[in-house]
Amino acid sequence: MPILLPSLLTFAPMFSPLFNYLQLFRSIPQVDRELISQSLVYRHVKEGDVLLQEGKVARELFFICKGVIKITTVNDKGKDVTHFFLRENQFTTILHSFNNNTPAAESIIAACDAEVLVISKAALMDIYEKLPYLKELITGIQQQALLDKIQLRNAFLGEDASARYRLFLMRQPDVALRVPLGDIASYLGVTQQSLSRIRRTAR
């Protein structure tokens, strides 16, 4: 008696955030969704889990279904510095490392409990060959996301700590509610004690 493999449609609910997001930009045929689904891995991560360690080569692309992910580096004093927060419906990897097979200059870490879809670089390149439109679509999304991150960071330039915190609350209020205060302080370039004072003053 032949062994029947479960239909890919059985696993569709965990992959639906990705396809729902991509469908905002263009229609993804069901047959293409099934092809892509074969290479996706669902992963639940806890706050503090490392998805990519600084110094390792980025060989995976992540899509955030739920939660907040942070991009960090270690400074010359050995302390983690948070550069960016990413949340639902965003792709993340360290692009320079991913594209050039070089050690990553940053780490990718869960800033809170999160759910991500993971695809290896090898699998992604194979899908890009079969579905050229997907490469154009995801590359365009990544480029726009990079511009948005740079624009957000540039908005902080020249502002004092209080103004940076207010701007952060306006631009990323959902992130502020979900990540540790220490991560926000690191992102804003202030000590946690200073941020606590700023928060008390702002009330």
Q: What is the pLDDT of residues 12-28, one digit of tens each?
A: 689 999 999 999 999 99
* Three-state SS at 143: helix
Put residue 78 in one of left, alpha, beta given phi > 0 → left and psi -120 to 50 → alpha.
Answer: left
Q: What is the pLDDT of residue 12?
A: 64
Asked: is 11-138 a CATH 2.60.120.10 domain? The reply is yes
Q: What is the pLDDT of residue 203?
A: 62
Q: Crossing angle for the helix pair 161-171 and 192-202, nearest 10 degrees?
A: 70
Length of the chain: 203
| Contacts within 8 Å (CB) and 24+ apart, 180-188 | 180/47, 180/111, 180/112, 183/70, 183/82, 183/85, 183/111, 186/72, 186/79, 186/80, 186/81, 186/82, 187/70, 187/82, 187/83, 187/84, 187/85, 188/156, 188/161, 188/164
Q: How far is CA 46 from CA 43, 51, 57, 69, 91, in A?
A: 10, 10, 22, 11, 18
Q: Quick check: 135 pLDDT over 80?
A: yes
Q: Report the C-alpha gap between 151 and 90 in whole angstroms.
A: 16
Instruction: Dump pLDDT digits (tens) for 149-203.
Output: 888 888 888 889 999 999 999 999 999 999 999 999 999 999 999 999 998 886 6
User: Which is more confident, 58 or 10?
Assistant: 58
Q: Quick check: 3 pLDDT over 60?
A: no
Q: Quick check: 2 pLDDT over 60?
A: no
Q: Report the C-alpha gap between 97 and 99 in whole angstroms.
A: 6
Instruction: Dump pLDDT digits (tens) for 77-129.
Output: 888 899 999 999 999 999 999 999 999 999 999 999 999 999 999 999 999 99
Q: What is the pLDDT of residue 156?
A: 87
User: Which is more confident, 6 or 148?
Assistant: 148
Q: What is the pLDDT of residue 100?
A: 96
Handedness of CA 10, 24, 22, 149 (dihedral sign): negative
DSSP state of 38: T
Question: Sorting pLDDT into bands at 50, 70 and 90, what band is 10?
Answer: very low
Q: Which residue has the tokens 């699998």?
A: 123
